[in-house]
A and B are shown apart, each in its own frame.
Chain A
Amino acid sequence: MPALLEIDALETAYGASQVLFGLSLQIREGEVATLLGRNGMGKTTTVRSIMGLTPARSGSIRFRGKDIEAWSPDRIARAGIALVPEGRQIFPNLTVAEHLVAFAANRNGSSNPWTLQRVYDFFPQLAERSRNMGNQLSGGEQQMLAIGRALMTNPHLVILDEATEGLAPLIREEIWRCLTALKAAGQAILVIDKYVERLIEIADTHTLIERGRVAWQGSSAELAGNPGLWHRYLGV
Chain B
Amino acid sequence: MSGILLLEQSLNGLQFGLMLFLLAAGLTLVFGIMDMINLAHGSLYMLGAYLMATLAQATGSFLVALPLAIVATGILGVLLEMSLLRKLYQRDHLAQVLATFALILIANEVVRMIWGAQPMMLATPAVLSGPVDLLPGLSYPSYRLLVIGVGLAVAALLYWLVTRTRTGMLVRAGASNREMATAMGVNIKRLFTIVFGIGAMLCALAGALLGPLLAVQVGMGEEILILAFVVIVIGGIGSIRGALVGALLVGMVDTIGRAFLPALFREFLPPQYAAGLGPGLASILIYLLMALVLFWKPQGLFPARG
Q: Which residues of A contact B (CB under 8 A)?
A: 51, 53, 72-74, 77-78, 82-83, 85, 89-94, 98, 101-103, 105, 107, 134-135, 149, 153
Query: Chain B contacts of A51 at CB under 8 A?
Result: 183
- How far is it, in angstroms, between the C-alpha of A73 and the C-alpha of B188 when the chains are bound? 10
- The answer to whether B306 touches A101 (Cβ under 8 A) is no
B252 within 8 A of A: no
A93 contacts B172, CB within 8 Å? yes
Across the interface, A91 reaches (CB within 8 A) one of B166, B176, B185, B188, namely: B176
For the complex formed, measure the closest distance between the CB of B180 and the CB atoms of chain A, giving whole angstroms: 4
User: Counting CB contacts under 8 A, is B57 at the interface?
Assistant: no
Residue numbers of B with Cβ under 8 A of A are: 166, 169-170, 172-173, 175-177, 179-188, 239, 303-306
Query: Within 8 Å CB of B181, what residues of A?
Result: 91
Contact A85 B183 (CB under 8 A): yes
Find A85's partner among B169, B180, B187, B303 (CB 8 Å cutoff): B180
Interface of B is mostly: helix
* A202–B173 CA distance with the chains assembled, in angstroms: 33
Q: Which residues of A contact B184 (CB under 8 A)?
A: 74, 77, 82-83, 102-103, 149, 153
Listed by A's residue number, 9 A-B pairs whose Cβ atoms lie within 8 Å are A53-B182, A74-B187, A77-B184, A77-B185, A89-B177, A91-B177, A93-B306, A94-B169, A149-B184
Q: A89-B180, A91-B173, A93-B176 are in contact. Are A135 and B306 (CB under 8 A)?
A: yes
A102-B166, A102-B169 are known contacts. Are A92 and B176 too (CB-CB below 8 A)?
yes
A103 pairs with B172, CB closer than 8 A:
no
Please give, as numbers and ranges, the residues of chain A lying within 8 Å of B170 by CB-CB distance: 102
Nearest-neighbor residue (CB-CB) of B173 within chain A: A91
Query: When the two chains form their complex, are residues A53 and B185 in contact, meaning their CB atoms are under 8 A apart?
Result: no
Contact B166 A73 (CB under 8 A): no
Task: Please measure, in the bound complex, the distance between the C-alpha atom of A140 and the C-alpha atom of B186, giving whole angstroms.
Answer: 25
Residues of A within 8 A of B175 (CB): 93
CB distance from A38 to the nearest CB of B (A): 25
Q: Is the CB of B173 within 8 A of A53?
A: no
Known A92-B305, A92-B306; contact A53-B183, beta-carbon cutoff 8 A? yes
How far is A191 from B164 in the complex, measured between Cα atoms in Å?
34
Q: Say whether B304 contacts A93, CB under 8 Å.
A: yes
Pick from B169, B176, B185 the residue with the most CB of A within 10 Å.
B185
CB contact under 8 A between A74 and B306, given known A93-B239, A98-B169: no
A77 to chain B, nearest CB (A): 4
In the complex, what residue of chain B is closest to A92 when comparing beta carbons? Answer: B306
| B186 contacts A103, C-beta separation under 8 Å | yes
Closest to A72 in B: B182
Q: Closest Cβ of chain B: how far from A64's Cβ, in Å?
A: 15
Which A residues are in CB contact (< 8 Å) with B176? 91-94
Whole-angstrom distance between the Cβ of A17 and the nearest chain B Cβ: 20
Interface centre among B182, B184, B239 (most CB of A within 10 A): B184
Alpha-carbon gap, A73 to B305, bound state (A): 21
In the bound complex, what is the Cα–Cα distance between A51 and B183 (angstroms)?
7
What's the minimum C-beta distance from A56 to chain B, rounded to whole angstroms?
16
Contact across chains for A153 and B185 when beta carbons are under 8 A apart: yes
CB distance from A204 to the nearest CB of B (A): 25
* 19 further A-B pairs in the complex, CB-CB below 8 A; given A83-B184, A93-B175: A53-B183, A73-B179, A74-B182, A74-B185, A74-B186, A74-B188, A77-B182, A77-B183, A89-B180, A91-B176, A91-B306, A93-B172, A93-B304, A93-B306, A94-B172, A101-B166, A102-B169, A102-B173, A134-B306
Could you tell me if B173 and A94 are in contact, using CB atoms closer than 8 angstroms? Answer: yes
In angstroms, Cα B186 to Cα A72, docked, is: 11
A134 shortest CB reach to chain B, Å: 7
Q: Given the complex of chains A and B, what is the CA–CA distance between A78 and B177 in angstroms?
A: 18
Given A89-B177, A101-B169: A73 in contact with B304 (beta carbons within 8 A): no
* B182: chain A residues within 8 A (beta carbon): 53, 72-74, 77
Chain B residues whose C-beta falls within 8 Å of the C-beta of A74 in the assembled complex: 182-188
Please give, as numbers and ranges, the residues of chain B lying within 8 Å of A93 by CB-CB distance: 172, 175-176, 239, 304, 306
Interface centre among A83, A93, A153 (most CB of B within 10 A): A93
User: Which B residues are in CB contact (< 8 Å) with A77?
Assistant: 182-185
Query: Chain B residues near A85 (CB, 8 Å)?
Result: 180, 183
Known: A93-B175, A98-B169. A105 touches B306 (CB 8 A): no
Q: Which residues of A contact B305 (CB under 8 A)?
A: 92
Report yes or no: A103 in contact with B185, Cβ–Cβ below 8 A: yes
Could you say which residues of chain B place their CB within 8 Å of the CB of A105? 185
Contacts of B186 in A (CB 8 A): 74, 103
- Across the two chains, which residue of chain B brings its CB closest to A103? B184
Closest 10 CB pairs of A and B: A92-B306, A77-B185, A102-B169, A89-B180, A103-B184, A78-B185, A73-B182, A135-B306, A91-B173, A98-B169
Residues of A within 8 A of B183 (CB): 51, 53, 73-74, 77, 83, 85
- How far is it, in angstroms, between the C-alpha of A82 and the C-alpha of B179 when the chains are bound? 13
